[in-house]
Chain A
Amino acid sequence: MNAQTLTYREALRAGIEQALEDDERVFLMGEDVGRYGGCYAVSKGLFDYYGEQRIIDTPLCESGFVGVGIGTALGGLRPIVEVMTVNFSLLAMDQIVNSAATLRHMSGGQFNIPVVIRMACGAGRQLAAQHSHSWENFYAHIPGLKVLSPGTHTDARHMLGQALKDPDPVIIFEHVMLLNESGEVSEAPEADMESALVRRQGEDVTLITYGGCLHKALAAADELAKINISAEVVDLRCLRPLDTDTFLGSVEKTHRAIIIDEGWKTCGLAGEISAIIMEQGFWMLDAPVKRICTAEVPIPYPSHLEQAALPQVEQIVEMAQAIMDGR
């Protein structure tokens, strides 16, 4: 298969372009997606090519335009709605949670909502608390939604197309720290969007993660290899529904698990995965399941504090060593 090298941003743009080419019902709407060129420059150039009917700049009214996007999906279109960051999406939560996620069920299956909502997430750019949080956990909590987190360039390129084919509402989280990174993009998706993938094979411990923490887990696995600890890395890719078989299969092999999640630890996704391992794989375990999450603090502005709040490679390495040592 031919692969090309793109930045994560370019991979996302290529996915959007493909979607616009493939289906005339598809359009992109959001804050500054058009004339400005996209707040993270993901949609740069698309307005000039596709015009204002398909690349629609919205006012700053998250609930309003996300709701309109949901309404257009209800009316037969295939909207890609971009919310500048997940932090602002909280203003649109009514439409996402009370409408998009519930209409199919409340109508007894008569209406479905094929909307795709993309948003940036994650910390690391010193943007302080209101631009740096990871609310994937919130959305992964909601029945009726599907939640994707492309951690690789190939997923950044292809998950949008997969999401648009899904008849239900799909939310895609794009980590801001990945945007400038270059990586290989394959021509076709590696798997269906709901499958987790083992990104690195290992024997001793399973690192379960997704999105922005994926490369940290892979870097930690490299470090661990140097001290003869063989770490397997599972990329969840889809946070709802969770592909439990893949990470349970890995834990069955390694007997140890560390979950790395940029969300906060309390009441979060890492706790959920830990509970699933406990419920379904307790007898496979040689050590307690561990979690590395963001410190329980609104993300601070100064770099050293921001970095201290986030999961880091060293923490993963240390944690893996500790559980191998039986500490």
Chain B
Amino acid sequence: MNQKLRIDRVHLINQLRQMLRIRRFEEKCTQLYAEEKIRGFLHLYIGEEAIAVGVMSVLKPEDQIVATYREHGHALARGLSMGSILAEMFGRINGCSRGRGGSMHLFDKQMNFYGGNAIVAGGLPLAAGLAMANKKQHRDAVTVCFFGEGAVAEGEFHEAMNLAVLWKLPVLFVCENNGYAMGTALSLSESETNLARKASGYGMASSQVDGMNVVDVESATSSALELIKTTSQPYFLECKTYRFRGHSSFDGQLYREKEEIRQWEEKGPVIRLQNWLKENNHFNEEELDELESEIKAEIEAAIEFAEGGAWEDTRDLCKDVYSPTQEGEPG
């Protein structure tokens, strides 16, 4: 456990709040999806909230985030407004990507949020490149790249690992290992299922952490960032987690037993922290209710914001394929 962490009651309640925001938001999203307000794919993060919340809570505003298509949690934990995320999922112009990306492609320049990437390992080279730009320009920023364990089978994973170590790039690779690449279990897709060991094969410092424990994730991230800073080397953090829902809205989950899901739910990140806080008298039902109603109000406001968003004029269909001017400022 990193000594620098200040894990006090207020902090933990805030971590719980962040995780609950993601959980309740996505529960609402399933409903909005059924109502066909949200279309396309909907990849829920439910069960994995401790990772986004744990990692984001130690990042600075100038650090950059490259995320996956399962990134509502990353975006919320990073500080994108719930309204702009939901409006994006509704395809409205007040969405964080002007409605052009949808659920899988949330972007926010102000937040240094470089988007959800739907190519599973596609974000890794980009993150290494952002880190290289930081290094070359002497910016005191770390690039954090989230990806699932399915990405580990892609060539781009290996290429990015090699380049990041070879060129000493300040990047934190966060592998969210939820055990299933869509419906294929890790043991059916990898010859080496210890992914941290895989990264260490590239000479990269790496560790495994319980991705269901927000404090552990936060602590591991904090240590990783410290190491990146002192060694000028990348770091690989494997977070062991589980998604309680299917891969996407079209997943019948034929590949796993209900009992398995139930067992993981028992050690879920939200219930775990909630119980710990209660058992140690840091938290009571009344406070929990208050938290819940606060989040409920935030979600209602987000829906109102999204519903109120305009549809982009089809005359602007081909806007933003190319930049309007020469010598535009980079992202």
Contacts and interface: CB of A to CB of B under 8 A. Distances in A.
B163 interface: yes
Interface in A185-217: none
A92 to B, nearest CB: 9
B107 A108 contact: yes
Interface in A63-83: 63-77
Contacts of A166: 323, 326
A68 B131 CA distance: 9
11 contacts: A63-B125, A67-B128, A70-B125, A77-B137, A105-B321, A107-B101, A107-B107, A109-B319, A110-B107, A112-B330, A113-B330
Given A74-B331, A112-B331, A106 B124 contact: no
A229 interface: no
Given A106-B101, A108-B100, A143-B321, A67 B129 contact: yes
4 nearest A-B pairs in the assembled complex, by CB-CB distance:
A71-B129, A67-B125, A75-B133, A64-B159
B286 interface: no
Interface in B295-331: 319-323, 325-331
A106 B119 CA distance: 14
B136 interface: yes
Name the interface size band of chain B.
35 or more
Interface string A277-288: 000000000000
Interface in B109-128: 109, 114-115, 117, 119, 122, 124-128
Interface string A86-109: 000000001100110001111111
Interface in B40-90: 64
A74 B115 CA distance: 12
Given A59-B159, A77-B132, 15 more contacts: A61-B155, A67-B126, A68-B129, A71-B129, A73-B129, A75-B64, A75-B132, A75-B330, A75-B331, A99-B117, A104-B322, A107-B109, A112-B323, A167-B326, A167-B329
A77 B136 contact: yes
Interface in B244-284: none
Nearest to A66: B125
A199 B99 CA distance: 45
Name the interface size band of chain A.
35 or more
B61 to A, nearest CB: 16
Contacts of B320: 104-105, 108-109
B240 interface: no
Interface of B: 64, 95-101, 105, 107-109, 114-115, 117, 119, 122, 124-134, 136-137, 155-156, 159-160, 162-163, 166, 319-323, 325-331
Contacts, number: 174
B125 A71 contact: yes
B163 A106 contact: no
In this complex, the member of A61, A68, A94, A112 whose beta carbon has the largest number of chain B beta carbons within 10 angstroms is A68
Contacts of B133: 71-72, 74-77
B130 A71 contact: yes
In this complex, the member of B96, B134, B159, B325 whose beta carbon has the largest number of chain A beta carbons within 10 angstroms is B159
Given A98-B119, A107-B105, A63 B159 contact: yes
A167 B327 contact: yes
Contacts of A165: 326-327
A71 B100 contact: no
Interface in A20-45: 27
A107 B105 CA distance: 7
Nearest to A115: B129
B132 A63 contact: no
Given A71-B133, A75-B134, A64 B108 contact: no
Interface in A120-157: 143-144, 146
A105 B114 CA distance: 13
A227 to B, nearest CB: 44
A76 B114 contact: no
B90 to A, nearest CB: 14
A59 B125 CA distance: 13
A168 B330 CA distance: 9
